[in-house]
Structure 1
Amino acid sequence: MVEIVFAIPFIAGLIAFFLPKFLGRSLLVVIGAVHLTLSFRLWKNHPPAYFDQYFAVTPEGMLSLLVISLLFFLISIYTVGYLRESEIPSEGLFTGSMLVFLATMTMVTLSDHIMVMWIAIEATTLASAPLIYTHRSAASLEATWKYVLICSVGIAMALLGSVLVAFSMGQANSGTPLSFSALAGAAKTLDPVWLKAGFVFVLVGYGTKMGLAPMHTWLPDAHSEAPSPASALLSGVLLNCAYLGIFKTNKIMVAAGLQDFSGGILMVFGLLSILAAATFILKQNEYKRMLAYSSIENMGIIAFGTGVGGLGVYGAVICMLHHSLIKSSLFLSSGNILLGYGDRLIKNTGNLVKGMPRTFVAFFAGFAGIAGFPPFGIFIGEFCIVIAAFKAGFHVAVTVFILSLCVIFAGFANQVMKISFDETDTVIKMKESISMVWPQYLLLLTSLVLCFFIPDSLNQTISDAITAIGGGLK
């Protein structure tokens, strides 16, 4: 049952490469619905994996899988309308790559073996690279190569880190499986020197894929050049997959009593990422690149909160959930803006409130959510992280954290206001269809509902995930 969840979209993706346009688009939505159904069944029933030495249902994995599955289903519905409105060469390659990408990300969430996790995360790179090169331009080719090369170097470092974690087992644990759960159980007997070295390489390696500064340079180009449905997947769920690799390794560190070491490094990289976003977002002239730098900021927030520990871990997971929902909505709305105005430059847009009112509502609400306005969940997550940091005595770090967020908000708000309300003579080229607007609304509504009501089963999953690394509501 467990392996079926990623086997089905993988096989469907291979088939989609050879299907005509209509069937390929339909298959995208059908597999999205099937995957969502299977993911919920997996979450409720927790069946054992057939290859249980490699795969397992874990709380943190299920949390990521539910987000991936819901987002892919809604994005697939949007994609059908997007493909009708845009000209994409080799549409079969695009839809097939989307499905294979879903399969590899699902495999990441269900991986329990450190080497299978590494293989799955590397597979996400190979599956998503064709999505970035969809438009076949010189800029998209450059962005694709930058993405593949930088992420591959990072993944190579993660491989070295995984090997070093294996070395930490020594002779005394030679019979211990190389699974995250087994290593966490035997963490007290692992060599702390090898374990620390392994964590550093894993953090830098998977942090490259997660978009942490200073390894983030691939992200703005890739998100800017990819079609909007692909950008929504890259930002909304791919970054979470890389974070999952760091999260699971950090579980071993916490179990070994090395949380101060791993937490300090996570906080440093988190602050660097937020500062990098604050520096570059002020002068952005493209709205998709602006959203990409916002993703770097949010990955920094998540890393910082995880490093703080306690209530900060809870805030980080809340930020991860709501960032996925809201940022995916924003990238889908940016796809409408691009189709409507025919330009990625902010100066060539304007008056979105009158030209594309439905898209404006989704875009402006998404901005409010991602900027941390209450009652959206980003505000709740950031508030928890700030409280936890002050309680832990990280006064200087949290001050830098707050000031950087204020700078980012100012830059983001300035550009959003221009897009929304500046006068323009541009003629809108696209008529807003329902299928290209309501997925954004549903994503934002889901985020809003989760701010006021989290089902007990989902809350328990979050609690089980964060308890393993010292997180909680205290």
Structure 2
Amino acid sequence: MLEIVFLIPFITGSAAFFLPAKIGRRLLVLTGSVHLILSIIVWAGRLPPLYPDYFAVTPEGLLSLLVISLLFFLISIYTIAYLKASDIRAENIFTGSMLLFLSTMTMVTLSDHIMVMWIAIEATTLASAPLIYTHRSAASLEATWKYVLICSVGIAMALLGSVLVTVAMDVGRVDAPISFSAMTGVARKMDPVWLKAGFVFILVGYGTKMGLAPMHTWLPDAHSEAPSPASALLSGVLLNCAYLGIFKTNKVMHAAGLADFSGPILIVFGLVSIMAAATFILKQTEYKRMLAYSSIENMGIIAFGTGIGGLGAYGAMICLIHHSLIKSSLFLTSGNILLGFGSRFIARTGNLAGRMPKTFVAFFGGFAGISGFPPFGIFIGELLIIIGAFRTGNHVGAAFFILSLCVIFAGFANNIMKISFDTSDATIRIREEASLVWPQYALLLTSLVLCFWMPDTLYQTIIHAVNAIGGGF
């Protein structure tokens, strides 16, 4: 049954809380391996859901599931070396929370019922909060409470939006299951006023979890305080899960003929997020916060492309996949820098190229990829979004989009150069073990390979996902 994909990490995660640290580490990798195998089986269509009214395999969900599974497997391998090199108290809570986080995120990707989707996204908050508080400092406590409170308010708004969508069905006298698949088929019969109201609340609610400005304020603190493996999951996977809730609701809006309403709202939120990231990234003094603002930028790019539709929607999905791969690699690499220099401040690092050459290669490669340098996939996605914007007459939006990307690149490049080449007399505290660097290389290589060769099944899945919102070539 399909549900076993998220039940297995739930069971192993619950057990990890009571197991010794060494067993918990092995369980982390073992569960990641099993999860990856099961995800491939789901890709082959050999795991039907036991409860089809609540869970289903959709193109956008399948894409996210594969990304989650691959990332967690590689991150779990890195985590073992990271835990050995760092001083983390209550390691069993950390590993148990990581596995429960995997379970809840998987549940999001497989949810088709609108209320089950809400429950799953709320569960990701509860599962990931202990990860942010891992170091148990005053700053991590503040970041955890900010994360829980702000995201809970957002999730509450998403709940209201979900209820309003069901009201749109009642007012329109629609007799159908409250699943996204069913609602897409009967969307024309749903009351448009209530549906519009539901979309706005869902966008603001899930947009809070996605990191869209101005609801993004929890994200920089949470990403900078969480251990690097957790930051990689928060940025590379969790934000995608929140986007799924918005994407599925936007599909219903398109099916109802309300794309002219939802599209401009997504465009505005996308541009505001990109410009907010451009404003804050210029003055960042911590490299993990810099990466966090880069995530806000990329979520804005994805929202902007989704709102554009057409070619822009295809570009947004390409950015979604490659951002997950590259940003996860960057956060893992930032973990090496933190272990090596013992500080999150850019001013206390330097000469990474000479002192930690293996980490430098991954760090600089990730910078090139996330900045949109060819041949990385972010470049392809952003180019398609810009072309799509001009095709649809969004010239002003495209101009702000391009200008903001240039500002972000300038701020990002300035800090990367300081970390990589500035003189430093700091003593490096760790050795660059293979398991501390090759997962990042694997993520970057996957991103590069997908730029030159994409399996036809993957391409068709992307096309099927974006066709519902007018995407594709």
2:411 paired residue number: 411
Amino acid at match of 2:292: A
Amino acid at match of 2:217: T
2:390 paired residue number: 390
C-alpha separation in 1, matches of 2:197 and 2:93: 40
Q: For structure 1, which runs of at least 5 residues remain unmatched after alignment?
A: none
Cα deviation, residue 47, structure 1: 3.4
Amino acid at match of 1:434: A
Amino acid at match of 1:312: G
1:314 paired residue number: 314
Alignment deviations for residues 189-232 of structure 1 (CA, whole Å, 9 cap, x no partner): 01000000000000000000000000000000000000000000
Cα deviation, residue 174, structure 1: 4.6
Alignment deviations for residues 8-57 of structure 1 (CA, whole Å, 9 cap, x no partner): 00000000001111100000000000000000100112532101110001
Q: Does 1:264 align with 2:264?
A: yes
Q: Note closer, same or farther for the CA distance 1:171–1:48 as it changes in structure 2 (3 Å cut).
A: farther
1:39 paired residue number: 39
SS at match of 1:169: helix
Native 8 Å contact 1:274 1:404 kept in 2: yes
Amino acid at match of 1:463: I
Q: Does 1:75 align with 2:95?
A: no
C-alpha separation in 1, matches of 2:319 and 2:458: 15
SS at match of 1:89: coil
Native 8 Å contact 1:274 1:401 kept in 2: yes
2:154 paired residue number: 154
C-alpha separation in 2, matches of 1:335 and 1:34: 26
Matches within 5 A, 1:193-272: 193-272=193-272
C-alpha separation in 2, matches of 1:231 and 1:29: 18
SS at match of 2:178: coil
Amino acid at match of 1:249: T
C-alpha separation in 1, matches of 2:61 and 2:232: 20
Alignment deviations for residues 222-270 of structure 1 (CA, whole Å, 9 cap, x no partner): 0000000000000000000000000000000000010111000000000
C-alpha separation in 2, matches of 1:260 and 1:302: 18
Amino acid at match of 1:403: L
Native 8 Å contact 2:172 2:191 kept in 1: no
Native 8 Å contact 1:46 1:57 kept in 2: no
Cα deviation, residue 171, structure 1: 5.1
Q: Bigger shift: 284-293 or 458-467? A: 458-467
Amino acid at match of 1:85: A
2:456 paired residue number: 456
C-alpha separation in 2, matches of 1:101 and 1:341: 29
- The TM-score with structure 2 as length reference comes to 0.99
Amino acid at match of 1:100: L
Alignment deviations for residues 55-110 of structure 1 (CA, whole Å, 9 cap, x no partner): 00111100000000000000000000000000001000000000000000000000
C-alpha separation in 2, matches of 1:398 and 1:18: 53
Native 8 Å contact 2:154 2:209 kept in 1: yes
SS at match of 1:232: helix
Cα deviation, residue 469, structure 1: 1.1
Alignment deviations for residues 271-292 of structure 1 (CA, whole Å, 9 cap, x no partner): 0000000000000000000000
C-alpha separation in 2, matches of 1:341 and 1:73: 27
2:114 paired residue number: 114
C-alpha separation in 2, matches of 1:391 and 1:176: 37
Q: Note closer, same or farther for the CA distance 1:22–1:254 as it changes in structure 2 (3 Å cut).
A: same
Q: Does 1:362 align with 2:362?
A: yes
Q: Note closer, same or farther for the CA distance 1:366–1:203 as it changes in structure 2 (3 Å cut).
A: same
C-alpha separation in 1, matches of 2:356 and 2:47: 46
Q: For structure 2, which runs of at least 5 residues remain unmatched after alignment?
A: none
Native 8 Å contact 2:131 2:230 kept in 1: yes
CA RMSD of aligned residues (A): 0.6
C-alpha separation in 1, matches of 2:468 and 2:2: 22
- The TM-score with structure 1 as length reference comes to 0.99
Matches within 5 A, 1:413-452: 413-452=413-452
Matches within 5 A, 1:78-227: 78-170=78-170, 172-227=172-227
Cα deviation, residue 302, structure 1: 0.1
Amino acid at match of 1:398: A
